[in-house]
Amino acid sequence: SVPLFVDVDTGIDDSLALLYLLASPEAEILTIASTGGNVPVAQVAANNLAWLDLCGRTDIEVTVGSPTPLRIPLRTTEDTHGPQGIGYAELPHSSRGPSDRSSARAWVEIARERPGSVTGLVTGPLTNLALALRLEPELPHLLKRLVVMGGVFNHPGNTTPTCEWNIFVDPEAAQEVFAAFSVVPADRRPLICPLDVTETIEMRPEHLRLLAQAAGSEPAELITEQDPPGTRSRTSNPIVRHLSDAVRFYLEFHRDHGQGFLAHMHDPFAAALALNPGLAVTRPATVDVELEGTLTRGTTVADWTGMWGRGPNADIAVGTDPAAFFDHLIERVGGFAAR
């Protein structure tokens, strides 16, 4: 099994990443840490609790992280993910509250409990992990591996011309994390899953229909571009219904931004890499974050050829097979929703 520390800013694609992990028998989810990003941290925690309730996993802890990035005010993006971060989905509120310990404290305590065995997966800003590193500088040595959805290298950004959202929200945190993890041996280097690759993971209505079919949901989902914006799913399967309502918002967002009626599933792909790093082709590089530039603050820069003379501190995902990924995702999440 793969013991996982999951740190998210849920988020529509974070939601599907969670469903995928909950559907994966080898994933042992130790905790779900909430970080502010797509929506404020309290809403992220509420979303995490609600998805867990829906999936009958009230045994999994949810922690709350810092309400703000390390040095700057929090920016959120309800335009992208909906007023509550889950698109048009209206999940029943959980009666459960989050855990008493902070997300940063949870990172440290869980890593210390199982030294060398926990994979950390971050699909939001790196605020919690940066705070955890201040509490426990040995953290890079205590984790088995770190997988991060974030950054963009040879491709346009999605927040500024050169910035990816997760890094843009808390560039100081990202800079501290990448620097801190430069001490780990080559076989445990952080695996960075940048926009360059995650924008090839295009979810289309057809994928949702196949997922609904795999879940045995009746009627099978028929999300079409012609339906008026905000059209809700009619299926009785609650997981498929809420997922469709969330993803519809994301499809409309991408269409309204000239990208077609599709949605980039950044975080589910990073989640799959946390379970199976072999799903992506990777290249080692030295990664750093620009903190000064008036135009480029928050930009991730990769030195692929050793010009900085510092040695690689990351393996960057540079390619994958999106069709094979969707087959895998649909089989897992569809099968899980069928139960």
The residues of the shown chain that bind ligand BDR, judged by CB under 6 A, are: 11, 13-14, 38, 77, 80, 123, 149, 158, 164-166, 195, 266-267
Of the candidates 81, 242, 264, 266, the residue annotated as catalytic is 266
* 266 carries an active-site annotation: yes
165 binds, among ligand BDR, Ca ion, none (CB under 5 to 8 A by kind): ligand BDR
Output 12 or 275, the one with its CB closest to Ca ion: 12
Residue 159 interacts with Ca ion (CB under 5 A)? Answer: no
Q: Which residue from 36, 85, 124, 194 is in contact with Ca ion, where contact means CB under 5 A?
A: 124
Output 24 or 47, the one with its CB closest to Ca ion: 47
221 binds, among Ca ion, ligand BDR, none (CB under 5 to 8 A by kind): none
Interface mask toward Ca ion for 238-267; x: CB under 5 A: -----------------------------x
Tell me the Cα Rg of the chain: 19
Output 196 or 315, the one with its CB closest to ligand BDR: 196
Q: Which residue from 7, 14, 176, 252 is in contact with Ca ion, where contact means CB under 5 A?
A: 14
80 binds, among ligand BDR, Ca ion, none (CB under 5 to 8 A by kind): ligand BDR
Shortest gap between Cβ of 34 and Ca ion (angstroms)?
A: 11
Shortest gap between Cβ of 112 and ligand BDR (angstroms)?
A: 27
Shortest gap between Cβ of 234 and ligand BDR (angstroms)?
A: 27
How far apart CA 228 and CA 1 sit, in angstroms, is: 43
Residue 217 interacts with Ca ion (CB under 5 A)? Answer: no
Q: Which residue from 2, 7, 11, 159 is in contact with Ca ion, where contact means CB under 5 A?
A: 11
Shortest gap between Cβ of 83 and ligand BDR (angstroms)?
A: 15
Output 44 or 142, the one with its CB closest to ligand BDR: 44
158 binds, among Ca ion, ligand BDR, none (CB under 5 to 8 A by kind): ligand BDR
Shortest gap between Cβ of 171 and Ca ion (angstroms)?
A: 16
Write down the residue that tokens 């012609």 correspond to. 226
Shortest gap between Cβ of 154 and ligand BDR (angstroms)?
A: 16
CA-to-CA dists, residue 184 to 100, 173, 180, 303, angstroms: 31, 18, 9, 18
288 binds, among ligand BDR, Ca ion, none (CB under 5 to 8 A by kind): none
Long-range contacts of 134-142 (CB under 8 A, 24+ apart): 134/104, 135/104, 135/105, 135/108, 136/107, 136/108, 136/111, 136/112, 137/180, 139/107, 139/108, 139/111, 139/180, 140/180, 140/181, 140/183, 140/184, 141/183, 141/184, 142/111, 142/112, 142/115, 142/116, 142/118
127 binds, among Ca ion, ligand BDR, none (CB under 5 to 8 A by kind): none
> Could you give the residue numbers annotated as active site?
266
Which residues contribute to the site for Ca ion (CB under 5 A)? 9, 11, 14, 123-124, 267
